[in-house]
C-alpha cells in the first residue's frame, strides 16, 4: 500500500527532445543532444513524441521512456569541469546537457523514491530506475572521466515508465500522487549500487523491490549469487 504523500509539486522548467544523429569520434547514432521545445507533446509508452534514441538496446523503451535530470546539479558540474581543465563548449549553459527530457529545480535524487508516481501534465508516470552513466558523457563534455564522475557523485538522473499516456508542455506541473517505497530514495539506491556494493541485506531488499526495473533487480540478484560486483569499465569508458 502506498504511503500517504506530502505535497511535492514542481513545474517542468524545460521539456526536451532530440533527433538521432552521429555522435562521438566513431559517429555512433545517438539522441543525446536534446533541444528545448515550447510545444505540447504527447507522452507515449515509449517516451515523448518526436524524441529519438540511437541505441534502443540500452536507451529508451518502456522502462526508460523519459529521462529526468535535476538542473540543481549544473553548478557543481561547471566547477568539476573547470577543475579538470575541460571545455564543454557551453553545453552546461542550458538544460539538456545530460540528454534529459525533463528539467526541473528543487527535485533531486534525495527527494525521489523508486516507484514514485507523478502526474506529469495529463500523463501518469512512475520512477523505474536511476541512470547508469555511459561513455557517451565523456565525449559530450570533453572530459574522459565524466561518466565515472557522474557515477561517483550519485547525481545520475532517473527514468520513468508511463502508466497513463497524456500530454505535457513546459510549465506544466509534476506532482507526486503516490509513494509505495518511501525507504528507497534514488540516493539510497545509488549508494547501494555504486558505494556499498556488497551490502547483502540491502541487495536482498533491492532484488524484491517490485517497482524497480527488472534489469536492476537482476543485477542485485547476481551480486547476491556471485558475491562479487559486475564489471563496469566497458560502460564507463566504451572500451
DSSP state of 40: -
> In what helix (H) or strand (E) does residue 12 lie, and over which residues does it extend?
none
The three-state secondary structure class of 6 is: coil
Location of C-alpha cell 505540447? 40
* CB 194 within 8 Å of CB 148: no
Residue 220 makes CB contacts below 8 A (sequence gap 6+) with 203, 204, 206, 207
Location of C-alpha cell 579538470? 84
Q: Going residue by residue through the chain, which has 239 residues, state the pLDDT in tens, using 9 for 90 and above.
A: 455 456 799 999 999 999 988 888 888 888 898 999 999 999 999 999 999 876 666 667 899 999 999 999 999 999 999 999 887 778 999 999 999 999 999 999 999 999 999 999 999 999 999 999 999 999 999 999 999 999 999 999 999 999 999 999 999 999 999 999 999 999 999 999 999 999 999 999 999 999 999 999 999 999 999 999 999 999 999 87
- Distance in angstroms (rounded) separating the CA atoms of residues 224 and 235: 21
Task: Outline where 185-228 has alpha helix (H).
Answer: 186-194, 200-207, 214-226
- What's this model's pTM, rounded to 2 decimal places? 0.95
What's the confidence (pLDDT) of residue 1? 45
* CB 128 within 8 Å of CB 63: yes
Boundaries of every domain in the chain: 9-182
* CB 24 within 8 Å of CB 40: no
In CATH, what class is 9-182? mainly beta
Amino acid at each position: 500500500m502506498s504511503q500517504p504523500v506530502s505535497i511535492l509539486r514542481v513545474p517542468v522548467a524545460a521539456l526536451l527532445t532530440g533527433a538521432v544523429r552521429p555522435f562521438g569520434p566513431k559517429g555512433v547514432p545517438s539522441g543525446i543532444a536534446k533541444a528545448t521545445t515550447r510545444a505540447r507533446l504527447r507522452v507515449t509508452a515509449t517516451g515523448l513524441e518526436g524524441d529519438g534514441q540511437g541505441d534502443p538496446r540500452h536507451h529508451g523503451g518502456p522502462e526508460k521512456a523519459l529521462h529526468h535530470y535535476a538542473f540543481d546539479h549544473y553548478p557543481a558540474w561547471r566547477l568539476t569541469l573547470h577543475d579538470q581543465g575541460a571545455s564543454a563548449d557551453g553545453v552546461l549553459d542550458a538544460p539538456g546537457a545530460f540528454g534529459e527530457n525533463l528539467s526541473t529545480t528543487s527535485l533531486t535524487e534525495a527527494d525521489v523514491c523508486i516507484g514514485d508516481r507523478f502526474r506529469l501534465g495529463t500523463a501518469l508516470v512512475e520512477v523505474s530506475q536511476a541512470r547508469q552513466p555511459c561513455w557517451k558523457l565523456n565525449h559530450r563534455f570533453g572530459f574522459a572521466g565524466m561518466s565515472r564522475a557522474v557515477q561517483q557523485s550519485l547525481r545520475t538522473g532517473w527514468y520513468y515508465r508511463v502508466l497513463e499516456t497524456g500530454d505535457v508542455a513546459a510549465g506544466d506541473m509534476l506532482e507526486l500522487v503516490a509513494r509505495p517505497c518511501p525507504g528507497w530514495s534514488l540516493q539510497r539506491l545509488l549508494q547501494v549500487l555504486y558505494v556499498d556494493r556488497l551490502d547483502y541485506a540491502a541487495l536482498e531488499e533491492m532484488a524484491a523491490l517490485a517497482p524497480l526495473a527488472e534489469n536492476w533487480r537482476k543485477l542485485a540478484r547476481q551480486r547476491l549469487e556471485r558475491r562479487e560486483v559486475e564489471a563496469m569499465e566497458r560502460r564507463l569508458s566504451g572500451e
